[in-house]
Chains A and B, each alone.
Chain A
Amino acid sequence: MTTIQTAAPAPPLRYPRLAQPFLALGLAILAEVGIAFFVLNVVSVPLIAVWVGIPMLLVFVPCTRWFANCHRRMLAGFLGAPITRPYRQPPMKGLLMRLRTILADPATWRDIVWLLTNAVLGFTLNLLSAVLFLASVFYLIYPFLVWVTPPGVFDQPFGGLFTLNVATSFLMVPLGLVAFLIWSASGERLLKANAHLAKSLLGPTESAQLAIRVRELAESRAETVDTQAAELRRIERDLHDGAQARLAALSMNLGMAEEMVARDPAQAAALLTEARESASTALAELRDLVRGIHPPVLADRGLEGAVKALAISCPFKVDVSFDLPGRPPAPVESAAYFAIAEALANTVKYAAATNAWIQVSYEQEKLHLLVGDDGVGGATVVTGGGLYGIERRLAAFDGTLTLVSPTGGPTTVIMELPCESSSLKTTPSSGTA
């Protein structure tokens, strides 16, 4: 999956303890508001028979989804992990197609089930968590309440079971302590339980997860095929217009020189010089072309050597740090190299940097590539731009690119490439003095 973010990839916010009771109260209220969405949806379905249901569903389902999405975002803070949106995309345009997709999507029905469970179970859990906290506060300040309110309001607790005055009201304070202890032990757990409950209905089912994955893979495959076809076309064009044409000219010059060598040696020598020059140019073009396909230094020295070579040829100082247990498979290595090369080229072109750093490490079955600089920042991922190109290249490997580049700098490009540890090879050829 590819994500583009303009800020650091922050894990979902964890709510501070003291904010939780109020959030819980809000969620409890929203849970009851949800009943309205439930009713609207449930009413719409039978009304399809008289057509009115169709526009109703087309309006209410997106509303419900929006409502559920708000909850997905909020609840992610309790879970510490985002809840993926499970909805299917309509395969074609058109209102009826949209309606069909909506009705056939299990996520639609699971949303409705969630609305109902949330109104009952979610409401209870949230309210319990909130009330425990509020009760503890309430009983802790009970004497104060008795003192400031007129008689008959707070001095007869538990339905007037007994009567208190300011002095005896201190007997209620321990209740506050007890409530506080229960809340601190279970308040967050109740909210987490609610979040898990919601996730089980709002998150994708296994088959929906697979469907999402298939969609992503199909997209990235289509893009990979496109970029590769474009790359092949570029290579063909470069060979045809460049080296091939020059070699043709070269052989023509040689033929003319051959024919002329006895008649006019001086002219023949000039033609030979010309031939030599066009051979050199053809070689230079082939060299550039080869470098664009697979840089020889990458083949020779692997990623580490190739990145160091990149760093050396950079106009400013580049610190390179490497922490890899072995050599990644060739396609991954090549993708990683080109990603770093492009990111560095961007830095050279736009960042006006005086220092840059490249870090490559391996963690959790992923290759982590970081290219940072102390330049002016303000970099963005635009379609067709260099960073976009990297992103497309990485997407073919399920890799991601994250850009952190506030205006004024510094810029950091963080790239991740999945790569199983079993495929990392240790090479005997690495490590030359």
Chain B
Amino acid sequence: MRVVIAEDHALLRDGLIRLLEAHDFEVVEAVDNGPRLVPALVQHRPDVAVVDVRLPPTFTDEGLKAAIEARRQVPGLPVLVLSQYVEQLYARELLTGGGGAVGYLLKDRVSNVAEFLDSVRRVAGGGTAMDPDVIGQLLARNTRDEPIGRLTPRESEVLGLMAEGRSNAAIASALFVTEKAVSKHTNNIFAKLDLPPSEDDNRRVMAVLTYLSSR
């Protein structure tokens, strides 16, 4: 799988390259600033881009903006954004770019190599990978008078994992239940949230996230 990396810290950049190349990814380009990122993404059209939010020259949200811009030019371009902190505003901006295939993770998640690689592969495969922190904040919202308040604790748990972008199989193994139980829970969730059932994994996550973030 071909990857473009944008990260300004040399150490982290090298670490990411080494990590990904050790797991059969091909790093086609690694840039260290925002302005070079958009052309790199548009030119290489990688299977997935791993982008740091904060990049030179402004050291603000240059990377995020470049990712959004690249996704505007190449719709559906899979981008996994890494950041030192998670901000729902940014998650929303990435998601409203349309076309799924986005991820937004805390940088620390890289340290859990298996989970990180799973996230990268998920985004490359057109799915989403949302940081548990973002989802946690969304689910922790005051839910008086909200349909989400009608969910059982187990269903909220399933919704959380679902919103991170995990498949039923992954949720089942994370919660130590059968896949059948998970799909029963998801159907209940869809019914309670008035979401029409859909076969598309990604659309269901998008639907949930859009529902959660549009309030």
Beta-carbon contacts of A269-311 to B below 8 Å, as 1s and 0s? Answer: 0000000100110011001001100001101110001001100
- In the complex, identify which listed stretch (B7-15, B60-68, B184-192) lies at the interface while the others stay far away: B60-68
- B16-24, B36-44, B88-96, B157-165: which lies at the A interface? B88-96
Do B88 and A312 touch (CB < 8 A)? yes
- Which of B60, B92, B143 contacts A299 (CB under 8 A)? B60
Q: How far is the CA of A284 from the CA of B58 in the complex (A)?
A: 24
Tell me which of B88, B112, B215 contacts A276 (CB under 8 A).
B112
On whether the beta carbons of B58 and A312 are closer than 8 Å, the reply is: no
Chain B residue nearest in CB terms to A433: B68
The distance in angstroms between the C-alpha atoms of A308 and B91, with both chains bound, is 13
Of A151-159, A230-238, A313-321, which binds chain B? A313-321
Q: Do A300 and B60 touch across chains, with their CB atoms under 8 A apart?
A: yes
How many contacting A-B pairs (Cβ < 8 A)? Answer: 60
Whether A291 and B85, one on each chain, are in contact in the complex, defined by CB atoms closer than 8 angstroms, is: yes
CA distance A315 to B60 in the complex (A): 27
Please name all residues of chain A whose beta carbon is closer than 8 Å to the beta carbon of B140 when the two chains form the complex. Answer: 315
Given contacts A300-B60, A301-B60, contact A317 B215 (CB under 8 A): yes
Tell me whether A296 and B84 are in contact (CB under 8 A): yes
Q: How far is the CA of A426 from the CA of B208 in the complex (A)?
A: 37
- Asked if A429 is at the interface (CB within 8 A of a chain B CB), the reply is yes
- Residue pair B65, A432 in contact (C-beta under 8 Å): yes
| A287 to B60 Cα, complex, angstroms | 16
Q: Is the CB of B137 within 8 A of A276?
A: no
User: Are A312 and B92 in contact, with the CB atoms below 8 A?
Assistant: yes
Could you tell me which residues of chain B, from 103 to 117, have a CB within 8 Å of some CB in chain A? 106-108, 111-112
Known: A280-B111, A287-B85, A429-B58. A315 touches B68 (CB 8 A): no
Partner of A432, one of B61, B84, B108: B61
Once bound together, how far apart are the Cα atoms of A296 and B106, in whole Å?
Answer: 14
B198 interface contact, C-beta 8 A: no
From B58, B65, B88, contact of A313 by CB (8 A): B88
Please indicate which of the listed interface residues B61, B72, B92, B107 has the most CB atoms of chain A within 10 Å of its own CB: B61
A35 CB to closest chain B CB (Å) equals 66
In the bound complex, do residue B61 and residue A287 qualify as a contact, i.e. CB atoms below 8 Å apart? no
A313 and B138 alpha carbons, distance in the complex (Å): 7
Closest to B142 in A: A315
The contact string, 1 if C-beta is below 8 Å from chain B, for chain A 361-388, is 0000000000000000000000000000
B141 near A: Cβ within 8 Å?
A: yes
Closest to A308 in B: B89
Verify A297–B87 contact, CB threshold 8 A: yes
Q: Is A429 in contact with B60, judged by CB distance below 8 angstroms?
A: yes
* Least CB separation from A288: chain B residue: B85
How far apart are the CA atoms of A291 and B142 in the complex, in Å? 23
* Closest CB in chain B relative to A60 CB, distance in Å: 60
| Interface pair A313/B61, CB less than 8 Å apart | no
**Contact of A283 with B108 at beta-carbon distance under 8 Å, contacts A309-B87, A312-B88 already known:** yes
| Pairwise interchain contact B93-A432, C-beta atoms closer than 8 A | yes
Interface residues of B in 68-108 (CB under 8 A from A): 68, 72, 84-85, 87-89, 92-93, 106-108
A311 and chain B: residue at smallest CB distance: B89
Q: Are B215 and A296 touching (Cβ within 8 A)?
A: no
Nearest CB in chain A: distance from B160 CB, A: 16
Contacts known (A276-B111, A300-B61, A316-B142); A309 close to B215, Cβ less than 8 A: no
Is there a chain A Cβ closer than 8 Å to B213's Cβ?
A: yes
A61 → chain B closest CB, angstroms: 57
> Shortest beta-carbon distance, A330 to chain B, in Å?
13
Q: Is the CB of A301 within 8 A of B61?
A: yes
Interface-centre pick from B64, B72, B85, B141 (highest chain A CB count, 10 A)? B85
Check if A305 sits within 8 Å of B108, measured CB to CB.
no
Bound-state CA distance A279–B107 (Å) is: 12
Give 5 A-B pairs besides A296-B84, A432-B64, A432-B93 with Cβ atoms closer than 8 angstroms: A297-B89, A300-B60, A301-B89, A429-B58, A432-B61
Pairs A–B under 8 Å by Cβ, sample size 26: A276-B112, A280-B108, A283-B106, A287-B84, A290-B84, A296-B54, A296-B85, A297-B87, A300-B53, A300-B60, A300-B61, A301-B61, A301-B89, A305-B89, A308-B89, A312-B88, A312-B89, A312-B92, A313-B88, A315-B142, A317-B215, A429-B60, A432-B64, A432-B65, A432-B93, A433-B72
Q: Which residues of A contact B (CB under 8 A)?
A: 276, 279-280, 283-284, 287, 290-291, 296-297, 299-301, 305, 308-309, 312-317, 354, 429, 432-433
**Which residues does B use to contact A, with CB under 8 Å?**
53-54, 58, 60-61, 64-65, 68, 72, 84-85, 87-89, 92-93, 106-108, 111-112, 137, 140-145, 213, 215
Top 8 closest pairs, chain A to chain B, by CB: A315-B142, A309-B89, A300-B60, A300-B61, A315-B141, A312-B88, A283-B108, A280-B108
